[in-house]
Chain A
Amino acid sequence: RKEVEQDPGPFNVPEGATVAFNCTYSNSASQSFFWYRQDCRKEPKLLMSVYSSGNEDGRFTAQLNRASQYISLLIRDSKLSDSATYLCVVNNGNNRLAFGKGNQVVVIP
């Protein structure tokens, strides 16, 4: 089983709409969780950390469900500039990050 699993999509989203996606992780001892954004042929950039209580940053909301071992990301009022691949990332200890393949989001005018 892969350490982090994501449905790659693509997720075609009309501009202004809301999109949500999940990822699941296999290691119940995972310690910290993140969403990174990766634009085509660029480096991953941290979007937000994910906390057990859930957290929000502007139009982005992240949730963590430790019991079911999944992490979610919701994007409200999608902008064209949100088009990117969103990487679910888990720290399995010793700062060894495990990445999902990413959810590809395409915001359509």
Chain B
Amino acid sequence: NAGVMQNPRHLVRRRGQEARLRCSPMKGHSHVYWYRQLPEEGLKFMVYLQKENIIDESGMPKERFSAEFPKEGPSILRIQQVVRGDSAAYFCASSPLGASSTDTQYFGPGTRLTVL
């Protein structure tokens, strides 16, 4: 049973370019979460999605960031016009149910974004 998959594992972009990060949840999981970890910082919640629905985007920056989880295919975190401050590790997690607060979230290996 494959775990949470993320790609690419490493992504280098120049300022002003777009970054697309992909996440495939564990088999049987329909709830996806995105977190960002800045250097020397803890993980920060960004967004919680179910298929075709954004449940909670309270942690998303107001501009340039968007996320989706389409009916088919992986979840996508999109960052437009990247700036150096976007350089971070972006982790995706998934859970099976989502309704219970005790659901364990399983994390993918992360995408390390570097903005030059």
Interface membership of chain A positions 87-102, coded 1 if the CB is closer than 8 angstroms to chain B and 0 otherwise: 1000101111111111
B59 contact set on A, CB distance < 8 A:
96
Interface residues in B82-116 by Cβ distance below 8 A to A read 89, 91, 93, 95, 98, 101-110, 112
Answer yes or no: A44 CB below 8 A from chain B CBs.
yes
Number of inter-chain CB pairs below 8 Å: 63
Minimum CB–CB distance for B21 against chain A, Å: 14
Q: Which residue of A lies closest to B33 (CB)?
A: A95
B103 contact set on A, CB distance < 8 A:
95
Answer yes or no: A32 CB below 8 A from chain B CBs.
yes
Task: Select the stretch in B12-20, B38-46, B68-76 that faces chain A.
Answer: B38-46
**Chain B contact patch, size range:** 20 to 34
Whether A44 lies near B91 (C-beta < 8 A) is yes
Whether B101 lies near A91 (C-beta < 8 A) is yes
> Which of A49, A87, A100, A101 makes the CB contact (< 8 A) with B102?
A49
Expressed in whole angstroms, the Cα–Cα distance for A101 and B40 within the complex equals 8
Interface membership of chain B positions 22-45, coded 1 if the CB is closer than 8 angstroms to chain A and 0 otherwise: 000000000101010000111111
Whether B95 lies near A95 (C-beta < 8 A) is yes
Expressed in whole angstroms, the Cα–Cα distance for A98 and B45 within the complex equals 7
Q: Max chain B CB contacts within 10 Å: which of A31, A43, A93?
A: A43
**Chain A contact patch, size range:** 20 to 34
Whether A32 lies near B109 (C-beta < 8 A) is no
Q: Which residue of B lies closest to A93 (CB)?
A: B101
Interface residues, chain A, with chain B CB atoms under 8 Å away: 4, 31-32, 34, 41-46, 49, 87, 91, 93-102
Instruction: Pick 23 A–B contacts, CB within 8 A, sort by A.
Output: A31-B102, A34-B104, A41-B89, A44-B107, A49-B104, A91-B101, A94-B48, A94-B56, A95-B56, A95-B95, A95-B98, A95-B101, A96-B48, A96-B56, A96-B59, A97-B33, A97-B43, A97-B93, A97-B105, A99-B35, A99-B43, A100-B42, A101-B42
